[in-house]
Structure 1
Amino acid sequence: MALAVAVVGATVPAAAQDATPGDATHRITIPAGPLSQGVLALSAQAGVQVVFESGTVGSVTGNAVTGTLTTQQALDGLLAGTGLRWRWLRAGVVTIEAGITADAGERVTGAVRVEAAQGATSLQTAV
């Protein structure tokens, strides 16, 4: 199992360590392309370390992400539709890992909120 780490700069500023991860916004410009390259660009532009197994990212194509975004928003955009997910390991350090996979004919979506009223007899969904 090969582990890759995208690191730009050896330290995370003390202010970033004390803040909620991903709160600050950054000017992000990442073209669509190999996810490994997108992760390196995100690491440089957002000042975070990204840890992942090289086999997980492999031949995955990342999405283009552009704008003034939080690290969380940039990661969400970069990974949307790839079947991968991300999570904070600690302030300034993110991991990318395999997410839920879909079977043929199924679709993996983001979080879904389901609400019901007591005594409800039908379910309505919005996609």
Structure 2
Amino acid sequence: MSLTVPWRGRGQHRGKAPAQLRRELDKATCDLVALATRLDEVTTQRNQLEAQLDEAAIDLSGARLDLETAQRELTAVRAQLANATAISAPAGTRDVDPDDQPTQPVPVLTLQQAHGIGPVLPVRNPGHVPAWADPAA
């Protein structure tokens, strides 16, 4: 009978064989070359995209300048149109179509002004009953 525990190893650990190490080194070297190639491709693409971005930025700045110029011209044209079609005479004296009746301003008055009454006076004698409201009269 053995006095050793069956699940424990004997402590013999061997390293990888030289041929296996060479294969792994070759594979790692191939991976490194592939990654370097991919890095070059991505760098080339990035440089192309940066060039396109620069061109687009130049185009955009030119478009902004064109837009500002067009807005200034539009503002000037609108001002000229407003001046040309401005109505400077009052409605009652304007030359209009005979079938069209010009409108006059609507007077806006308070109720007191409209009905010709004075301000409401405070009640000084609450026991006083006006003649029109007195049932005994």
Question: Quick check: TM above 0.5?
Answer: no
Q: Which has the higher contact order (CA 8 A, sep 6+)?
A: 1
TM-score w.r.t. the length of structure 1 is: 0.14
TM-score w.r.t. the length of structure 2 is: 0.13
More helix by share: 2
More strand by share: 1
